[in-house]
Amino acid sequence: MDEQNNGEIFSTDLAGIIVGETEISNVDGVSGSLSYRGVNIADLVNRPVMEVVGLLLFGADGASPEVQSDARLLRDASSSERLCDYEEELTAFTIDHRRLSAEELQLLRDLPFDLHPMLVLQGMIPFLNIPYREQAEGSILADEVVQQGLGIAAKIPSIIAARHRLINGNSIIPSGDSLSLHENFLLMFHGRVPSREQVRILDAVQILQMEHSFNAGTFAGRVCASTLAPIQSSISASVGTLFGVLHGGADQAALEMAKKIGSPDKAAAYVADCLERKIKIMGMGHREYKVVDPRAKILKPMALSLCEQGQGKELLEVLVSVEAACQTAFAKQGKEIWANVEFYKGAVFHSLGIESNFFTSLFAMARVYGYVAHYLEFSQNSRLIRPRAKYVGR
């Protein structure tokens, strides 16, 4: 950032510039904490997924008065009290809307098979047909935009799984009528029923990456929403922005970096070479966090307990060595650069049998709930986002 002579603010990257208010999540980059609607993510990670979605989108207003008035309960992960009362309604809506139509499946078949899953996802979102259905009075689903947003979120797992089946020459598995969000996704993706443990792991990872304040993808969606474009356009813009390797695409890039390095003893030389040539280490560093990303703090032990043998163990050992080499090198440079959410996430996904080119689309599958929450919040008090350029031409 730079201050011009005439007092105008000049910033090419908006670093440190506050561009709006939000009640959805809070990123504290100094202490290294993240909370959704005031609840620390460490306390949300083992809650039912749809309960967290309800909290994120609509707050704790539906929870019993005791829960709302007792901050301790909201923070206590072991509490049997619900964080909000929307879980059942959201689950039923998702099950009802997640099946792809024949036309949507045909579109997926027609797209070139070498197209990256994130490009497929970004392109497919505006084409999805989400019928509006009247809801009982007082329902949180009464609003058409809410239905569109949640309808898109419901179909994203089906799109990802169907593309995975198609490009591998497998038959598409239709969505189940009663399975939970991630049990159904893993079944559609792999073609076999997942274990409870696999579902629990995916639930936790997806909760961790559902929302993160004004990140680049969410901000792109807000810019789009500010023109009064529909929610489909806004989510599509966000997904396109998430794809880049400086943002969500770092999950694929970090695990592929570990594969390329090959063994832990080569990690230090790899890091030194990257720093020498000013190449970024994928999964390291964050615009907001000046300490370890709180999501990485949860994902690392998860990866260590899951990757105990085979290729997963080898990849994880490389990642651990890269992290150690980075810490030594960055400390020497006096830089506060630590592992972010992407660094160990790939190892966890790898343990679930998910190929690296699908990592970022799974990220989008979770983050879409944050995008919807921001679209709804922003639309309540919307104003066109339109910065200025400094003209330097002739």
User: 265 to 304, contacts with ligand ACO by CB under 6 A?
Assistant: 280-287
Site for ligand ACO contains 240 (CB under 6 A): no
In this structure, what are the phi and psi dihedrals at residue 293, rounded to the nearest 5 degrees?
-55, 125
Query: Does the footprint of ligand ACO cover residue 192 (CB under 6 A)?
Result: no
- Report, in Å, the least distance between residue 16 CB and ligand ACO: 10
Minimum gap (Å) between residue 112 Cβ and ligand ACO: 27
| Contact of 81 with 63, CB cutoff 8 Å | yes
Q: Which is nearer to ligand ACO, 266 or 280 (CB)?
A: 280
Q: CB of 333: closest distance to ligand ACO in angstroms?
A: 7
27 binds ligand ACO (CB under 6 A): no
d(CA 84, CA 132): 24
Sign of the CA dihedral 248, 357, 280, 283?
positive
200 binds ligand ACO (CB under 6 A): no
Q: Which is nearer to ligand ACO, 205 or 281 (CB)?
A: 281
Backbone angles phi, psi at 151, to 5 degrees: -65, -40
CA distance 356 to 341: 15
Q: How many CA atoms lie within 13 A of 173 on its CB side?
A: 21
C-beta of 27 vs 74, nearer to ligand ACO: 27
Nearer to ligand ACO, 163 or 295 (CB): 295
Q: Does 360 bind ligand ACO (CB under 6 A)?
A: no
How many whole angstroms separate alpha carbon 319 and alpha carbon 231? Answer: 38
Interface residue with ligand ACO among 1, 246, 269, 272 (CB under 6 A) is 246
Q: Minimum CB separation from ligand ACO for residue 341, in Å?
A: 5
The least CB distance from residue 158 to ligand ACO, in Å, is 24
Nearest distance, CB of residue 244 and ligand ACO, angstroms:
8
Q: What is the DSSP letter of 326?
A: H
Is 183 or 251 the residue whose CB approaches ligand ACO more closely? Answer: 251
337 part of the interface to ligand ACO, by CB under 6 A: yes
Closest CA to 46 of 191, 206, 204: 204
Q: What angle do CA 230, 104, 148 make, to 5 degrees?
A: 30
CA 367 to CA 149: how far, in whole Å?
A: 12
Per CB under 6 A, 341 contacts ligand ACO: yes
User: Least distance (Å) from ligand ACO to the CB of residue 283?
Assistant: 5
- Pairwise CA distance, residues 99 & 176, whole Å: 9
Tokens of 93: 């809506």
By the rule CB under 6 A, 340 interacts with ligand ACO: yes
Distance CA 155, CA 365 (A): 9
β-strands 25-28, 9-10: how paired?
unpaired
The reply to whether 342 sits near ligand ACO by the rule CB under 6 A is: yes
Closest residue to bound ligand ACO by CB: 285
Spatial separation of the C-alpha atoms in residues 12 and 4, rounded to whole Å: 13
Nearer to ligand ACO, 285 or 312 (CB): 285
**What is the smallest separation between the CB atom of 198 and ligand ACO, expressed in angstroms?**
23
Residue keyed to tokens 């704790």: 60
Chain residues binding ligand ACO by CB under 6 A are 215, 246-248, 250, 280-287, 335, 337, 340-342
